[in-house]
Structure 1
Amino acid sequence: MIKKHLQGTGFSCSVSSLIPAYCLAWLGPPTRDSLLFQLAGGSCPPGCLCASDILTCVSQGLEQLPSQMPVTTAVLDLSHNRLTQLEDGGLAGLLRLNALRLAHNRLARLLNGAFRGVGRGLRHLDLSSNELHVIEHHYFQDLGVLEELLLFNNRIVRIESRALIGLSHLRKVYLSHNRLTDFPFFSIKGHSHPFLRTLDLSSNRLPRLPLEDITVLPVSVQSGLFLHNNTLICDCDLYTVLRRWEKQGFGSVRDYREQHTCLVYGEHRVSVHFLHNSRFFENCTLPGSSLTWEPGANLLASAGDPVLLDCLTSIDGKSLSYLWVSPSQEYIAPPGNNQTLRLFPNGSLLIQAAQTEDSGIYMCMAVDRMQLYNRTWEVNVTVVSRRSPADSFNTGFTTLLGCVVSLVLVLMYLYLTPCRCWCRTRPPLPPAPSPISEQITQPNLHKSPPSGTEGPGRKPGTNKHVVFLEPLREVQNGRLRASLMPEPKSISSFFVEEPLTTG
């Protein structure tokens, strides 16, 4: 059936061979999809690896595009080869191509039609580490849905002003490690690139920046503008810009504080760190800076509350229409969406019941009769969760209770100090002598100890069975007085009865 369909066209295509691009152009969608399905598994180029919809030919020494490529390829990796150019229509027929990687080749220029015929699905293009010198306006004109463009580590000295105009879906552009001395910021101002979040111009040769064009870029673009490791000349306006971005917490400045330098009077031998050596820019804090800032707006709201955002436009006219862009990149036109957002004729946007996921930057655009867009206002909305009254009461009660307990403990410490003398435990009184001991010792009170004793008042005896000597006793005022006060329950004595001897 396919053979018959191609008859009369002058072309001859068979199912068993690779189908050229011109054959696919003559086939209708149903026949083409059926044929692509039949040939998906049998046309992998020699030396390459085919896995499902991925074709990788890395480091194969290719000097031109493979002549056989599966038409169902979604990811094509031709990096680390020797490609010097892309032929016109060389990628035609790859209608499902989503990502094309051409890094580490020898591409110096892209011919007209290099990406013709790849369909409208190419979103990732890697041209890094090649030999490109100029990015001409026609390079990417066939890639309307491109989202990521990698051009770092080339030899680019110039980017034509119209090179990026048609790429309205761009999210990330990497141009670092090139030889750029300027960049057409005016080509991306306004809302021509509403999804752009990263523009990397670091490690180039930029001497000055058109700050008038940069400061009117959307905040989402400014926060992702990387300018470190350039040959910028020290300037008060530039210092003010970087300081402002640092205070706003932009990662492009905060994460690369050490790499932001400038040259004093353009002298390469005198380099100053913008964000560390502030003493070189003391005069920049005085009035007179030529750079004026458009005031921004920050709005804090509670979850569930209605929030009204005003569009403060700088355009005068009676036939203005308004358009808002939400943080989720949703375009809001009159009358808005009936569920959560409502747009009034004067440009004000009402968030009927704000939720935490509604937080972010809302951008307002004013449109005149000529359909010319003008960025007029940006509002940073932060929605926080509302606390219930019970939670507030519990928090306040807990705080009050903690204060009362702390006060009581302080008073106890001040006025209820530990006792010093009157509450101490008194030492126990010495035990009274027993009658038996008085009888034993009384007759010997006035007799001097015999010779050979170990001490006064002590009689060892020959049949001594005393484990602990009895404490010494002295006579004072006709009464016995213990010379050594025994501790209670600490002295044990065994007495041996001996016959009393008289003088």
Structure 2
Amino acid sequence: MGEKTMDPLLFFLTVLLFVGTQSCPEVCKCVAKKKYGRHIADCSYKELQAVPVGLPSNATTLTLSVNRITSLRVDSFEDLVDLQALWLSYNEVSNIAKGTFAFLVQLRAIDLSHNRITDFPWGDLSNLTALQQLKLSSNLLEKVPSDAFHTLKDLRSLWLSDNQLAVLSEGTFDSMPLLSLLQISHNPWNCSCKIWWLKAWMENTSVIPEKESITCAAPERMKGLVFGRSLPMDCMRPSVQVVYHSSLGSSILHGGLSVLLHCTAVGKPPPEIRWKIQTSSQNVAINGPNIEEGNNSLADVTSKHSKGMHFLVFKNGSMVISKFSKADEGIYTCQALNDVGSREESVSIALASSENPADQLENNMQASKPESKPCDREEHSKSEEKIVVLYLPPILPKTSSSVRVLWPWAALLLSSLLALCS
């Protein structure tokens, strides 16, 4: 009598049952609560040194708390795509590979408190848009990127207390409209102007409990003070103004116009000045002076230009555009930055060849501007734009009389200075 073959459907169900019974590691306890659609894998209090293999792929909650796990690999949770809660508190985690959490898009809660984390894979959070609770307290974190939480629109609770945070970037918490609990106490806060924004933000929010526990560790004169309303902080967001100057000397016209823009900035602490240039053919950013201090005569400026330096920026905020030509028409923006924030002001420069350049100027400026935006009257967010029109007269022969004729052009060469956003 020949052997009977097993019904294919029965075989499939047998294999499925076998796989299901083998999918929970021995050290863990796996429970299915079908009524609630939950599948729990509890591997806590097991002295584990690594995430166990063979975890059930349908797990919605994984508990690994109170073990001795030291690192999380990129494949530690790769099969747990349905995971909604991950508990890893009270371990010894110090290393987390980038991408470890990136595919756990169903996650609503992560608890990594009481570990030894110094470098968290913040980029992984961009995929976790369902996250509602994130606990990173009692670790060794020294910084949080300004955009770390920019996709976490549903986050309700965030624990960052008991770390090594000294500063946070302005706007760090702005992208979480549902945030109702934020723990940042017991960090070594540097109560300088770098977190002046945080002081103002805390005064107008109710999401931070126990504000009395947020104290300063630096500077020395503020050590131990509560980071609250009465904390003395002499800080001021920069103010900025761009002024056009023309007295560079009569000889400048022999090689083409040279334009001097001076940027005046005031703030506490003193702001750093940067220039941004946008023309029809290029965008240039100059982050600080490129000319050493000293007696920079016109000959020095000409020498620098001959060495390929066209935009010369000095420590006092001045910028010289040597041999200004049609190609240099565009928007010149001075930006002032300090620990409190930044402001900027722009001036649009067009070179006209006629005595009535109004129509030509409008066309030139429309070509050199970025996409138009409504005027914003808030000083801190938009700059006041000005227009400078320069006349370029014909270059005359180098004679003593020609210098006298040219100098009135060099005295200003300024047809109009208008405010577009008044």
Structure with the bigger percentage of strand: 2
The structure whose RCO (Cα within 8 Å, separation 6+) is larger is 2
* Rg larger in structure: 1
Q: Please, what TM-score do these two structures have when normalized by structure 1?
A: 0.42
